[in-house]
Amino acid sequence: MPHATHAIRLVPGDDLKESIIKYVRDARLTSAWIVTAVGSLSSARVRLANYSALLRGSSNDVYDAPDERFEIVSLVGTISAAGASCHLHCALGDKRGEVIGGHVLDGCVVFTTCEIVLGSDHEVTFTREHDERTGFDELVVSGRSNGDAEDEVAAETSAKRRRRARQLAAAEREREEREERGEKEPVRGLFGWLVNVVAPRPRDEEAGTEGS
């Protein structure tokens, strides 16, 4: 199967972004994405979107909390082939229960643990190319398309239907042959097994009378 699942645990002091990139690079994955994650941070550094009322600044402010505890509420994103780059977003809850979210930068350090599940597909490759419309390096997907995957599912379903049709046709031929020979329909399944155990058919040598 082209799809695979990878489970990793980061330990205290690990940098969240760097550690994910390193794992993908060491595993030589052609594409990877975050399936789920849970853990805590001892410091956070995320880039915010648009105007930040919290920091009273302009767009793309950086929220930098070098010595504050956070629970990872959410972590999502994609990682390019061999860990060349990544695009990660997170939502973090602080000690007051308030949540801050944005683009994960270097400097998000694990406090106690971070348990991450990654998905990957060796038939798909993630790379990034500069997009003049955004000014950022954006995701480029190559390899198997969604249409290919849908075709595979359709082909598998069609094969199962053909196999089932052959099985039904064979069973019908067997039934017709039994009728021609004057044989009764055999009892199948658990009930048939019980019939054979409780009331077994007589053996050939037991079929006659005692005086024969």
- Same domain (yes/no): 155, 177: yes
Tell me which residue has tokens 């979107």. Answer: 49
Q: Domain with 96 in it: what CATH number?
A: 3.30.1330.80
Q: Which domain holds residue 102?
A: 3-143
The residue whose two tokens read 């930068």 is 105
* Pair (92, 38) in one structural domain: yes
Same domain flag for 78 and 60:
yes
Residue 153's identity, in one-letter code, is V
Mean pLDDT of the chain: 84
Q: Cα(146)–Cα(120) distance, rounded to whole angstroms? A: 15
Other beta carbons within 10 angstroms of residue 110's beta carbon come to 21
Q: Within this chain, do residues 162 and 123 fall inside the same structural domain, yes or no? A: no
Has this prediction a pTM greater than 0.75? no
- Cα separation, 127 vs 142, in Å, equals 8
The per-residue pLDDT for range 90-142, each reduced to its tens digit, is: 999 999 999 999 999 999 999 999 999 999 999 999 999 998 888 888 999 99
Whether 156 and 85 share a structural domain: no
139 and 89 share one domain? yes
**152 and 136 in a common domain:** no
Co-location of 38 and 64 in the same domain:
yes
CA angle 79, 84, 143 (to 5 degrees): 65
pLDDT above 50 for 51: no
Q: Are 186 and 192 in contact, with CB atoms under 8 Å apart?
A: yes
Average pLDDT over residues 81-86: 90
Q: In this predicted model, what pLDDT tens digit does every residue of 138-178 receive, in sequence order? A: 999 998 755 555 666 676 777 888 888 888 888 888 888 88
